[in-house]
A and B are shown apart, each in its own frame.
Chain A
Amino acid sequence: MPIIETRELRKVFRSVKRTPGAGGALKALFSREYVEKVAVTGVTMALEAGELVGYIGPNGAGKSTTIKMLTGILVPTSGEVRVAGIVPHERRSDNARNIGVVFGQRSQLYWDLPLIESFELLRAIYDVPEARYKANIDYFIELLEMSDFLNTPVRQLSLGQRMRGDFAAAMLHDPKVVFLDEPTIGLDVVAKEAIRTFIAGINRERGTTFILTTHDLADVERLCRRIVLIDHGRLIFDGEVDALRDTYGTHRTLVVELSEPLDHVEMDGTEAELTNKTLARFRFDRRTMSAETLIRRVADRYGVSDVSIEEPELESIIRLIYREGHVEGPHDEPGGP
């Protein structure tokens, strides 16, 4: 049985149309005009326990609205949702025991108190048995290298330290499902890597299910086998990252170092450009032209000293999907808080 299941999940926000100022507020008391915003519609997906899925979409696509429904703090307009067998908004408290959340931009630690005190508080909140708490906390302290700043007030921690603290805080009660919202935002490369290693490790060793929303696609490439794309409130792709690359990432770039400086390059069937006088780039579609053919043609026409081929980055693939909008049918304005 899937650990997360949604069927035709839909959320429409209905808000009173506001006119600014006190007069407008007064008017709104008597005559109400409503504005409807479809934030999420027709979202059907199933996640098996132990999966690590990237949930990706541009700002306002409906990601956080979906996550809010999965965490039970938002009631769907229609459709079904189940997390570990529980309908989240019907049993928010029970659901809360099964899930953990990490928000890169928002800490759940106690600002003024030493880090360790936040952990103890969470232990009380979730009723974590003493032995379990001890085992978890020791494990996380070692894995996240937190021993140096356990007794430092959270407000004095660096962002990287704070994030590590937030990760430990979210995992103390052994949640089955963890939602990660931009967990590496603003971190330096070393800290990012530490966090990614931690996620991958917990996923592998404990079989924890992770849903990762991020704009940093390097997170996804490093961690996720599966990716779900959402745009304008609808799912536009759900499958393996490799499949996404095969389907949409058909363009590659041949980078050529020229043996003598040129002012102009061109080649049929490619988009050619000069980065500088001795470096040319030919963007081509691998379905219509093989790399070998292109290299031969370029070498015939220009003096070549070196070549390399750039595979499409996940980021450029996804940018392409957003831009070209691989969505059928009309859709409403994206929305939601």
Chain B
Amino acid sequence: MKLRVRPYLEFARKAFAREATYRMEVFTNVGSLLVRLYLMKAVWTALYAQNAAPAGVPLHAIITYTTIALLMSLVLEIDGTRMIRDRVREGSIATDLMKPINLPLYFFSDGAGQTLLHALLILPSLGLALFIVHIDVPAPPVLLAFAVSFALGYVVNFLLNFVMNAVAFWTLETFAIQLIVRWVSDLLGGQIVPLIFFPGVLQRIVLALPFAAVYSTPLLIYTGTIAPASYPAAFAAQLAWGCGFAILATFVWRGALKRVVVQGG
């Protein structure tokens, strides 16, 4: 079957329009981001007042890190594939399967549409954030590398969510497992605390986990901890995780389909 692009562009467009109808939620998102930012700033400032800078990271660098991490979360916390879980639970996945479309691509384009709307919030949020904190801005080539790494992280994040939501084909409910994975990935992904703060062996372990590919890698590129010479290795690691999860997602999806069409869900 040749792939037609148009339906998927339409899906993304509709998802964008759909998200835009929840105006309240959009504003709440920005509000909660600013509150979290304010709290993080207070916590880090208090901690730094007690100790010398851990791992040689000065306060302004950690504030920058936190701010960028929160802005990234505007996009990365969108679980574009939660509709898999919803549709499996409602049983409407059956009607989806009766359409001449590639369902994983449908989910991806729908998620991308949602993401795009939320990505539009990044700039205004950044503007408001600057009233609370001051952040460092790196040179344009570093910003470009950050953007590439962020995009790779987005794909890894999408696939990770996809796999977790597809678990619903077996369990119907995925809330608990997603909550756990979310906490673990927030912590081990470097969204809250930079992974370079972890001691010795633990640091090497968490940096090697897939969670680091989502937040940590782009953030460490932004803050300059990952130097330009190490960019290829960083991208390669992210890409590897992306491929790994893509393969896993394919298997999970095939298994899910088989479960539906053979066992009748």
Chain A residues within CB distance 8 Å of chain B: 11, 13-15, 39, 65, 68, 71-75, 89, 92-94, 96-97, 99, 101, 103, 106, 108, 110, 112-113, 117, 120-121, 124-127, 153, 336-337
Are B94 and A73 closer than 8 Å at their CB atoms?
yes
Are B99 and A89 closer than 8 Å at their CB atoms?
no
Are A110 and B95 closer than 8 Å at their CB atoms?
no
Are A336 and B11 closer than 8 Å at their CB atoms?
no
Chain B residues near A112 (CB, 8 Å)?
Answer: 18, 21
Are A110 and B18 closer than 8 Å at their CB atoms?
yes
Q: Which of B151-159, B197-205, B225-233, B256-264 contacts A (4 or more CB under 8 A)?
A: B256-264
Are A121 and B18 closer than 8 Å at their CB atoms?
no
Interface positions of B from 134 to 169, Cβ below 8 Å from A: none
Known contacts A106-B95, A108-B95; A125/B100 CB under 8 A: yes
Known contacts A93-B1, A117-B14; A75/B101 CB under 8 A: no
Query: In the complex, what residue of chain A is closest to B95 when comparing beta carbons?
Result: A108
CB of B6 closer than 8 Å to a CB of A: yes
CB of B247 closer than 8 Å to a CB of A: no
Are A117 and B97 closer than 8 Å at their CB atoms?
no
Query: In the complex, what residue of chain B is closest to A99 when comparing beta carbons?
Result: B98
Chain A residues near B263 (CB, 8 Å)?
Answer: 13-15
Distance of A101 Cα from B6 Cα, bound (Å): 23
Are B260 and A73 closer than 8 Å at their CB atoms?
yes
Q: Contact partner of B97 among A73, A124, A337, CB < 8 A?
A: A73
Q: What's the nearest-Cβ distance from chain B to residue A231, in Å?
A: 19
Chain A residues near B92 (CB, 8 Å)?
Answer: 106, 108
Known contacts A94-B100, A124-B6, A124-B10; A113/B17 CB under 8 A: yes
Write 13 A-B pairs (CB below 8 A) sorted by A numbering.
Answer: A73-B97, A74-B260, A75-B261, A89-B261, A93-B1, A96-B98, A106-B95, A117-B14, A121-B10, A121-B11, A124-B9, A124-B10, A127-B6
Are B261 and A74 closer than 8 Å at their CB atoms?
yes
Distance of A96 Cα from B262 Cα, bound (Å): 18
Distance of A40 Cα from B98 Cα, bound (Å): 21
Chain B residues near A117 (CB, 8 Å)?
Answer: 14, 17
Distance of A120 Cα from B232 Cα, bound (Å): 43
Which of A103, A108, A112, A117 is most buried by chain B, counting CB atoms within 10 A of its CB? A112
Q: A71-B98, A103-B95 are in contact. List 7 more A-B contacts (CB 8 A).
A: A65-B264, A73-B94, A110-B18, A113-B18, A113-B21, A124-B9, A125-B10
Chain A residues near B94 (CB, 8 Å)?
Answer: 68, 73
Q: What's the nearest-Cβ distance from chain A to residue B102, in Å?
A: 9
Chain B residues near A89 (CB, 8 Å)?
Answer: 261
Are A336 and B18 closer than 8 Å at their CB atoms?
no
Distance of A208 Cα from B99 Cα, bound (Å): 19
CB of B91 closer than 8 Å to a CB of A: yes
Distance of A97 Cα from B43 Cα, bound (Å): 58
CB of B255 closer than 8 Å to a CB of A: no
Interface positions of B from 1 to 24, Cβ below 8 Å from A: 1, 4, 6-7, 9-11, 14, 17-18, 21
Are A121 and B14 closer than 8 Å at their CB atoms?
yes
Q: What's the nearest-Cβ distance from chain A to residue B52, in Å?
A: 47
Q: What's the nearest-Cβ distance from chain A to residue B254, in Å?
A: 14
User: Scoring B residues 81 to 121 as 1 if CB is less than 8 Å from chain A, else 0, what string do you get?
Assistant: 00000000011101101111100000000000000000000
Chain B residues near A110 (CB, 8 Å)?
Answer: 14, 18
Chain B residues near A120 (CB, 8 Å)?
Answer: 10
Q: Give the top 6 A-B pairs by smallest Cβ distance, nearest first.
A: A124-B10, A96-B100, A93-B100, A124-B7, A73-B97, A112-B18
Are B98 and A73 closer than 8 Å at their CB atoms?
yes
Are A75 and B98 closer than 8 Å at their CB atoms?
no
Q: What's the nearest-Cβ distance from chain A to residue B158, in Å?
A: 22
Query: In the complex, what residue of chain A is closest to B171 when comparing beta carbons?
Result: A25
Chain A residues near B18 (CB, 8 Å)?
Answer: 110, 112-113
Distance of A13 Cα from B262 Cα, bound (Å): 8
Interface positions of B from 41 to 75, Cβ below 8 Å from A: none
Distance of A51 Cα from B21 Cα, bound (Å): 43
Chain A residues near B98 (CB, 8 Å)?
Answer: 71-73, 96, 99, 101
Q: What's the nearest-Cβ distance from chain B to residue A60, in Å?
A: 13
Query: In the complex, what residue of chain B is closest to A108 when comparing beta carbons?
Result: B95
Distance of A237 Cα from B95 Cα, bound (Å): 29
Distance of A125 Cα from B10 Cα, bound (Å): 9
Chain B residues near A125 (CB, 8 Å)?
Answer: 7, 10, 99-101
Known contacts A106-B95, A110-B14; A126/B264 CB under 8 A: no
Distance of A153 Cα from B100 Cα, bound (Å): 25
Which of A71, A74, A108 is most buried by chain B, counting CB atoms within 10 A of its CB? A74
Interface positions of B from 210 to 265, Cβ below 8 Å from A: 260-265
Q: What's the nearest-Cβ distance from chain A to residue B97, in Å?
A: 5
Q: What's the nearest-Cβ distance from chain A to residue B24, in Å?
A: 13
